[in-house]
Amino acid sequence: MTETRKGLGSTTVPKLSVKEHAAPGESPTVITVNKLDVHYGTFCAVRGVSMKIKENRVTAFIGPSGCGKSTVLRCFNRMNVLIPGARVTGEINFFGQDLYAAEVDPTEMRSRVGMVFQKPNPFPKSIYDNVAFGLKVNGYTGNYPDAVERSLKRAALWGEVKDRLKENALQLSGGQQQRLCIARALAPEPEVLLMDEPASALDPISTLAIEQLINDLCTDVSIIIVTHNMQQAARVSHETAFFMVDDDRAGYLVEFDDTSNIFTNPNDERTEAYITGRFS
Amino acid sequence: MRSPSSFNHHLGRRKILGSIALVVFMSSVVVGILGLVVLLAQVLFQGLEWLSPELIFNFPSRHPEQAGLKAAIFGTLWLMGLTAAFTVPVGVGAAIYLEEYATENWLTRLIEVNIANLAGVPSIVYGLLGLALFVQLLSLGRSVLAGALTMSLLVLPIVILASREAIKAVPETYRQAAFALGATKWEVVRSVVLPSAYPGVLTGIILAMSRAIGETAPVIAISALVYLTFVPQNPLDRFTVLPIQIFNWIARPQEDFRGLAAGGIIVLLIVLLSMNALAVFLRNRYQKQSVE
C-alpha cells in the first residue's frame, strides 16, 4: 500500500519500443502478461493468466461473475495495490517494462494507463475541473482549456457541455457522466484505457453511445474492456479473453483469440457453452 | 390458490399501534421544544430590560446599573479564536491520518475507542488537567492561552469524530478515480477527499465551538472567578468568559444582578447563534458549489 516516488521516467520506458517484434500485418503488443497470479491474503483470486494485449485494438474480458476479469484489469494500472493484502506475482510487461518492478512508480504509470469505472464517478466539481484534474496532477504544461476541449471532443461530449463547463458534473445524466469520466481518463493522454463494465449502469441508448465511442477511440489508444454483456463484447472488441472460475474460486483464462473466432468457432468447448448460454 | 383463512390481518390493531407510535414520538418533540421555549421565555422576560449598551460596553461593577460584560465578551472572543486555531488543524489532521493513512490494527482501534471515550469525560477533569499541565507545568499562568489549550483538549474529540465521519462518507470511487489518473495520496486527500468532506467537517467544528463557548467548569479551574476590568491584550493575559460572568452575577444576593445575569445569557445566546449562523451559511454555500 505504500507508494514511493522513485520515478519511472519516459526515458526508462521508451514508448512503442516493442514495435520491431511485431509480425507483418499484426498490431504490436502493448501489454504482455505472463503467469499472473493474484492473491488477496491467502485467497487466490486469479491463477496463471498469460496473454498479449495488442496495440490500438479493443480487447474484451468476458466470463461469469467472480472469474477474476476485473482483478486482472486492475493489475494493469496497479490499482490492486490499494487493497490491503493484495499480492501480484508473475509478470506484466508494459511496452517492454516490468510493471511491478521496484523502480516503477505506480503514480506515474497510472497516467499512462487510464481507467473508467463501472459506475460513473465524476468528482463533485465542475465539468471543466473534472477533465483538468488529470492534467493538473500530471503537471501538464500546455494550454488547459484547449486540452479540456480536446478530451471532451474525443469523448463525444463537447457539443453537449461546451456552454456549461462551469456547471457541476453531477448535474449531467448518467450517460453523460460516464462520457465525462472517459474524457477525464483521456486527458493525460494514456496509451491504454481500461474500462471496467463501463456501460453496465447505463440505459441502452447511452450504452450505444459508449460503444460507438470505444470504436472511435481505438484508432489511437489500446482499450481493454470488462463486460458481462456478450453481445457488447462481440460488437466492440477485436479480441476476446474468456475467463472462468475453478473449484477453489480462483479465476483463470480459458481462451484468448480474435473475437470472431471466440463467438463463431471457439477452440474450447467451455467457451462455446458460455457464449451459447448453456452454462450456469 | 390463496385461501383467505390462512391470513389474519388484524388491520385495526396494527393501525392503532401506528397511531400510538405517532403520539409517543410527537410528544417527545413537544417535551423538548416546550422546555426550551419556557427557558427562553423566562430568560427574555427577566433579561430584556437589562439589555443596554452599558451591559455590552462596560466592565463589571458593584452597581448593577453600571455593570457590563466587556471583559467577558472579549475574553470569550479571544478564547474561541485561539481554541479554533488549535483545534481545527489538529482535529482535522488527526481525522485525516486515522481515515486515510493509518492501517487498521489494534493500535488504531485502541486510539479510536479512546477518542470516543474522551468525548465523554467531564469537563472539570479537563480543567484540572489544564491547570496542572498548562498553567503550572508549562508556566503559562492563568492566561487565555492556557484556557484555549485546555478548551482545545476538551473539544478535540468532537472535531476528530465528526471529521472522521465526514471523510468516511466520501465515496471510495472518488479516491479510485483520482488514483487512476495518477494522483498521489496527498493529491487525492487534498483535491478530492477534503472538498467533499468539508461540509461535514465544518459541522463538527460548529458543534465543538458551541460546546466550548458555553463551558464554565474548565475555565473556572484555569482562571477562577475573577473580577477583571481589562480586556486581554495578548495570549498571556488573564481573562474571563461570558458563562463565568453570568455565574458570578447569579451568585450575588441582590435581585438586580439576577436580571443582569439573564441579560448576559441573552448576549451569550446571541454570540453563540451568530457564530453558528455564520458556519451554517458557509457550509450551505459550499455544499451548493460542490454537490448537486
pLDDT of the residue at B97: 93
CA distance B278 to chain A (A): 24
Give the mean model confidence (pLDDT) for residues A186-211: 90
* Closest-CA residue of chain B to A172: B292
pTM of the model: 0.79
Amino acid at A30: V
Question: Which candidate from A79, A168, A171 shows the least CB-CB separation from B180?
Answer: A79
pLDDT of the residue at B47: 80
Question: Which run of H or of E encompasses A93?
Answer: strand A86-94
CA distances to A1, A5, A75, B286 from A229, in Å: 33, 39, 22, 40
pLDDT at A152 over 50: yes
CA distances to B69, B70, B74, B116 from B231, in Å: 11, 7, 6, 36
pLDDT of the residue at B108: 87
> What are the residues facing A33 on neighbouring strands?
A51, A92
pLDDT of the residue at A14: 39
Tell me which chain B residues have a C-beta less than 8 angstroms from the C-beta of A84: 103-104
Q: Contact, A36 vs A51, CB < 8 A?
A: no
The span from the CA of B147 to the CA of B154, in Å, is 11
CA angle A200, A203, A208 (to 5 degrees): 85
pLDDT at B202 over 50: yes
pLDDT of the residue at A8: 41
The span from the CA of A61 to the CA of A237, in Å, is 9
Q: What are the DSSP calls for B153-206, one per residue?
A: HHHHHHHHHHHHHHHHTS-HHHHHHHHHTT--HHHHIIIIIHHHHHHHHHHHHH
Q: What is the pLDDT of residues A51-67, one digit of tens each?
A: 999 888 999 999 888 88
- Partner A, chain B 190-209, Cβ-Cβ below 8 Å: 191-192, 195-196
CA distances to A73, A112, A122, A143, A209 from A127, in Å: 27, 22, 8, 17, 19
pLDDT of the residue at B275: 81
The mean pLDDT of chain A is: 85
Q: Which three cell numbers stand for residue A56?
A: 490500438
Of B121, B62, B124, B76, which is closest to residue B243 (Cα–Cα)?
B76
- pLDDT-wise least confident of A33-47, A241-255, B156-170, B205-219: B205-219
Banded model confidence at residue B1, pLDDT cuts 50, 70, 90: low
CA distance A114 to chain B (A): 6
Give the mean model confidence (pLDDT) for residues B187-194: 92
Report all structural domains of chain A as residue ranges with CATH numbers, in order of start: 1-112+233-280 (3.40.50.300)
Size (chain B), residues: 292
Q: What is the pLDDT of residues B107-135, one digit of tens each?
A: 888 988 888 888 888 888 888 888 888 88
pLDDT of the residue at B227: 74
Residue pointed to by grid coordinates 444582578: B257
pLDDT of the residue at A279: 62
Question: Which candidate from A1, A114, A168 shows the least CB-CB separation from B292?
Answer: A168
CA distances to A174, A201, B108, B112 from B98, in Å: 33, 33, 7, 8
Q: Which of A4, A10, A75, A110 to mutate to test the interface with B (most CBs of B within 10 A)?
A: A110
Tell me which chain B residues have a C-beta less than 8 angstroms from the C-beta of A5: 184
- pLDDT-wise least confident of A28-42, A84-98, B59-73, B278-292: B278-292
pLDDT of the residue at A25: 53
Banded model confidence at residue A11, pLDDT cuts 50, 70, 90: very low
The span from the CA of A177 to the CA of A123, in Å, is 10
Contact criterion met (CB < 8 Å) for B191 and A137: yes
Q: What are the DSSP calls for B20-44, one per residue?
A: HHHHHHHHHHHHHHHHHHHHHHHHH
Q: What three-state secondary structure class fits A124? A: coil
pLDDT at A123 over 50: yes
Q: Which three cell numbers stand for residue B143?
A: 492566561
Tell me which chain A residues have a C-beta less than 8 angstroms from the C-beta of B195: 124-125
Radius of gyration (C-alpha) of chain A in whole angstroms: 19
CA angle B233, B236, B239 (to 5 degrees): 70
* Closest-CA residue of chain A to B288: A168
pLDDT of the residue at A9: 39
pLDDT at B231 over 80: no
